[in-house]
Amino acid sequence: MQRLEIPFECESPDIDESQIEGETPTQLVLRLAEAKARVIAPAHPKSLIIGSDQVAVANNEILTKPGNHNNARIQLAKISHKSIIFLTGLCVINTTSNKVQKDCVSYTVHFRDLTEDEIERYLLKETPYDCAGSFKSEGTGISLVQRFEGEDPTSLIGLPLIRLSEMLRNEHQEFPLIPD
């Protein structure tokens, strides 16, 4: 949001992020993004509320946040020389009009062959234990990648700014650096 130069406040909603039986990863991130926005919305009349959620998917399996070093090591070894898809659900609620916009943005990361030593050094440096798929592209995690594929690289850090900008323009949000 700072990149868009729009004033904002951050709040962490307290919601159950468990997957519902039969729910696809896309359905999950869309549901959670909207749930997060809806929990925050009542306290902010006449506002635009943004909710977001992200999962990483490999071989149709959701890669959760590892939580600790050992789980992260196992996760990264599993995705070595494979591709994972990051799905980011995005929801914008206009609390004045009650208009809801939702979308899911996907971005694929193709990992190169990773050695145990590379994985260990990366984990000690980045400690990505609260990151889906144990991966942080904004740091040294970039060295684990063979290539990226997708339309919005900002979705990797959890907030797809290209799609969000479009949603905000739909709500007549002005951007400071964009002339009329």
Catalytic residues: 53
Q: How far apart are CA 151 and CA 82, in angstroms?
A: 20
Find out whether 35 and 23 touch, Cβ atoms under 8 Å.
no
Contacts 24+ apart (CB under 8 A), 158-163: 158/52, 158/54, 158/88, 159/1, 159/50, 159/52, 159/88, 159/90, 160/88, 160/90, 160/105, 161/3, 161/4, 163/90, 163/103, 163/105
Q: How far apart are CA 127 and CA 149, in angstroms?
A: 25
Find out whether 62 and 56 touch, Cβ atoms under 8 Å.
yes
Residue 147 backbone class (left: φ over 0; alpha: ψ -120 to 50; beta: rest): beta
Which residues are 62's β-sheet partners?
A: 57
